[in-house]
A and B are shown apart, each in its own frame.
Chain A
Amino acid sequence: MHEPRSFRAFRVVVVVGLGLFTFVPLYVMVTSALKPLGDVQGDFRWWPTHPTLRPFVDIWSTVPLARYFVNSLIVCVVSTAFSVLIAIFAAYAVSRYRFVGRRVFIGTVLSTQMFPGILFLLPLFLIFVNIDKQLGFTFLYQTRIGLIVTYLTFALPFSIWMLASYFDGIPRDLDEAARVDGCRALGALFRVVLPAARPGVIAVAVYAFMTSWGEILFASQMTNDATKTLAIGLQNYSTQINVYWNQIMAASLVVSVPIVVGFLLLQKHLVAGLTSGAVK
């Protein structure tokens, strides 16, 4: 296609401008993680004087990074697993059955997505504290279980929505055939529908994991020193007066790489899911 000169110039401006805007912080994160402490304490340097991997080692003793890591992993893996499982069931019902209350269910689930988190945080705090008081021991408030239960629901609306549209794309004849062969509803779901929807399931799992891995608002009140997640642990440290920036950049890099790689590998599926809902 012919492109006028003005459009080419526009492209250069956009690519250079947005490219730098996006790239510079990533560059700072990576190069600063390789700097000795002296390089991040004085005037900013574009390049480490002596590139070193020490920050990646030291950060584990500067903050209890291992504990944060374990907490985040447990909370995110468990909540993702349950959230995907629950979303699969709900999406299957939404996609395959026309039942009374279906529209109300979809509408309620989706609308919770738009409500401000702070609206839920205050009462949830109160509910958790009082449930624990009734039980006589710490069960939900500032425990991993409380955080898991909360995070479970965060990815549910998007997951149900996306999986339902995935399931809609799988011909009903397939599960009817499975039923004829003697499968019950569950069998049809697990043997026929799920294998065909695998990309959607994986994308939903990545989304759920990303959501809980980066969650800050609830984690800031619903965790204590023992159950703190990476998000809160690193945030607390980074707002202190004297910060070892090289170490915290190293930590940020370590917690980001798996997520970014996972996202980039699966971006196609995520995009398809995001827009299938938007276009409808």
Chain B
Amino acid sequence: MPVTTTTPTSRAVGTVPPPHRRRPRWNRATPYLFILAAILLELLIHIVPMLVGIWMSFIRLTQFFIANWSKAPAAGLGNYKVAVDFSTPIGRALLHSFTVTCLYTLIVVGLSWLFGMSAAAVLQNSFRGRGSLRTLFLVPYALPIYAGIITWSFMLQRDNGLVNHVLVSNLHVLDHPPFWLIGNNAFVSMAVVALWRSWPFAFLMIMAGMQSIPDEVYEASAMDGASVWKQLRYITLGMLRPVNVVLVLMLFLWTFNDFNTPFVLFGPTPPNSADLISIHIFDNSFVNWNFGLGSAMSVLLLLFLLVVTGAYLLVTHPRSRRA
């Protein structure tokens, strides 16, 4: 009863403004005060360092000038020339690292998406144990990065790890236990570990995207006789496109910039086969103390990422460009 009587009154008050109502004064400065702290921090930690980084790439900033950077001699394009001169060891190493990173990104992003999509598709309809499976699948993403990777590095130990125990003692696939954390095997190990950690994120995003597809669409197509496979191919994939576009971009950027997986598995100097670009730049800067060269490589990396991202957005959003 009270509800029905109060509703009309409050509506009447809403439509007829009370006589003393002051228009709220929208102070022009207010929004800027609200974003001030965010702007200052972004400037201090991101914008200014980025500009400084670009400037660093044009000076000869070696260990002698770290605490005295204003004295470092100008280098012009010298650092860039050293970085991309593929006839020298430094240039060749950078090219090698870039190739390794591309391959690594392709494998990890591709399989992460495939695993995430498959898991989300089979968990779409309810069955017994679905909830616990979903929780299990999300755990690797929730774990602190290093905890998961350290566990893998234990599993990949040659003499006391699980992987060799299974391959040699249980399945008899191999006669002699191989090293997994040095040599060419290191690349495979690193990709598997990264995949273990990143596919749950793809699963999470795709699963959430699927929830926004209305049931009616599936019901209607089921009445038309579409099988689960056809629905998956024509409805789910189509409706998930916006989510997939963002997801693949995020996976690409994270994987290409991945520093954590090689660093935790191998320490600051990974085996050659696992020399990802971020850790390669890190080594050139902090192990060899050549910040100018490291900055030049970072700037090149940034340019590459900008170009790829820009091209990707043009291809995936052709219409919004014209609009």
- Using CB atoms and an 8 Å cutoff, list the residues of chain A in contact with chain B: 1-4, 6-7, 10-11, 14-15, 18-19, 21-26, 28-29, 32, 40-44, 86-87, 89-90, 92-94, 96-97, 99, 102, 105, 108-109, 112, 114-124, 126-127, 129-130, 133, 149-150, 152-153, 156, 160, 176, 179-180, 185, 210, 213-214, 216-217, 220-221, 230-231, 234-235, 238-239, 243, 245, 248-249, 252-253, 255-256, 259-260, 263-264, 267, 271-272, 274-275, 277-279
Contacts and interface: CB of A to CB of B under 8 A. Distances in A.
A180 B21 contact: yes
Interface in B82-114: none
B37 A89 contact: yes
B178 interface: no
A124 B44 CA distance: 9
Contacts of A263: 138, 141-142
Contacts of B271: none
A1 B302 contact: no
Contact of B257 (A43, A117, A127, A235): A117
Contacts of A14: 118-119, 121-122
18 contacts: A1-B125, A2-B228, A7-B227, A14-B122, A18-B115, A19-B136, A25-B140, A32-B154, A97-B34, A115-B46, A122-B294, A129-B67, A130-B67, A152-B45, A210-B144, A213-B144, A259-B143, A260-B142
Contact of A235 (B150, B164, B305): B150
B146 A235 contact: yes
Interface string B226-237: 011100000000
Given A179-B24, A216-B263, A278-B243, A122 B53 contact: yes
B76 interface: no
A149 B146 contact: no
Given A149-B44, A279-B243, A28 B205 contact: no
B253 A114 contact: yes
Nearest to A10: B122
Contacts of A109: 38, 42
Interface string B35-60: 10111011011111110110010000
Contact of A180 (B24, B145, B165, B228): B24
Contacts, number: 302
B198 interface: no
A216 B200 CA distance: 20
A264 B141 CA distance: 10
A235 B263 contact: yes
B169 interface: yes
Contacts of A271: 204, 207-208
Contacts of B247: 278
A149 B160 contact: no
Specify the main secondary structure of chain B where it touches its partner: helix
Contacts of B32: 93, 99
B144 A256 contact: yes
Contacts of B21: 180
B122 A15 contact: yes
Contacts of A99: 28, 31-32
The 9 A-B residue pairs whose C-beta atoms are closest, nearest first, are A93-B34, A44-B165, A263-B142, A97-B31, A123-B52, A123-B49, A252-B147, A90-B38, A275-B208
B4 interface: no
Contacts of A156: 38, 41-42
Contacts of A42: 159-160
A230 B143 CA distance: 13
B64 interface: no
B133 A15 contact: yes
A44 B160 contact: yes
B281 interface: yes
A25 B196 contact: yes
A252 to B, nearest CB: 4
Given A22-B139, A42-B160, A221-B286, A120 B49 contact: yes
Interface in B247-279: 247, 253, 256-257, 259-260, 263-264, 266-268, 278
B162 A119 contact: no
B67 A176 contact: no
Given A116-B305, A217-B263, A274 B229 contact: no
Contacts of B183: none
Contacts of A185: 27, 30, 34
Nearest to B147: A252
